[in-house]
Amino acid sequence: MTEVASFIFARGGSRELRNKNILNFAGEPLIAWTIKQALANARIKRVIVSTDSTEIAEISKSFGAEVPFLRPPELATDTSSEILSWKHALNYLNKTEGRVPEIFVSLPCTAPLRSQEDITRNLECLFESGGDLVLSVTPSQRSPYFNMVHLQPDGLASLVIDSGGSYTRRQEVPLTYDVTTVAYSAKSSYILETTSLLSGRVYASIVDQERAIDIDNLLDFQFAEYLFKKSGGQ
């Protein structure tokens, strides 16, 4: 059977919401919900947390995750590239264990409303498509063809995508999707080789909007917790 390992990347610092990854969310540290989701998924055989924080590491271990290393500080800043942290985790396993799991699954702890079906669908899309990477996406509420603009240096506004008047109603424009942080599945070999996540054969699995909330600030946190409690949790 193909080996699937889940990785949860949770640094200690947070610009918008201090200690976001371990704040009390519906009675548990925020990261705990994602660890539980990963451990409960039948496809996932290992759950590994990558963090630079000893506090996050201890909390993660207490909920059943492996924390075999602490992430270097230079990979845990506001400007650090996510893909470099992914490579670091896989390279560490390769160095210490002599191998890497065939399939890499990143489950950010800032998307606690994901369901088991969302994780499994993402993985199945990778297996069935034969692609290199699968994103989770949700239908966009605004369209770059119709009601999204960018501003010129002189203040003039123009559509992000100018269709030359081809579309007069929002219902006519091509469907677009927002990338979510619900799940990312990839071949480990692709993660190790690529310099850009979207450079390979990238597919997407669709997630309903109410499960696709990504916690970045306090308002996101409060809204996600409200929906989480309303739904009865995971």
CATH fold of 4-139+177-230 = Spore Coat Polysaccharide Biosynthesis Protein SpsA; Chain A (3.90.550)
Radius of gyration of the chain (CA): 19
Both tokens of 6, joined, read 């889940």
Tell me the pLDDT tens digit for each residue of 199-233: 999 999 999 999 999 999 999 999 999 999 888 76
Both tokens of 189, joined, read 């070999």
Q: Which run of H or of E encompasses 209?
A: none
Both tokens of 76, joined, read 């845990």
Predicted confidence at residue 121, as pLDDT, reads 96
Distance between start and end Cα atoms, the chain: 27
**β partners of residue 186:** 104, 133
**β partners of residue 157:** 151
Along the chain (234 residues), what's the average pLDDT of each consecutive run of 10 residues? 92 82 94 97 95 95 96 85 94 95 96 95 96 95 79 86 70 85 96 93 95 92 91 69
Predicted confidence at residue 78, as pLDDT, reads 78
Q: Name the residue ranges covered by the structural domains of the chain.
A: 4-139+177-230, 141-174
Predicted confidence at residue 168, as pLDDT, reads 65
Tell me the pLDDT tens digit for each residue of 137-165: 999 888 777 778 889 888 888 888 877 66
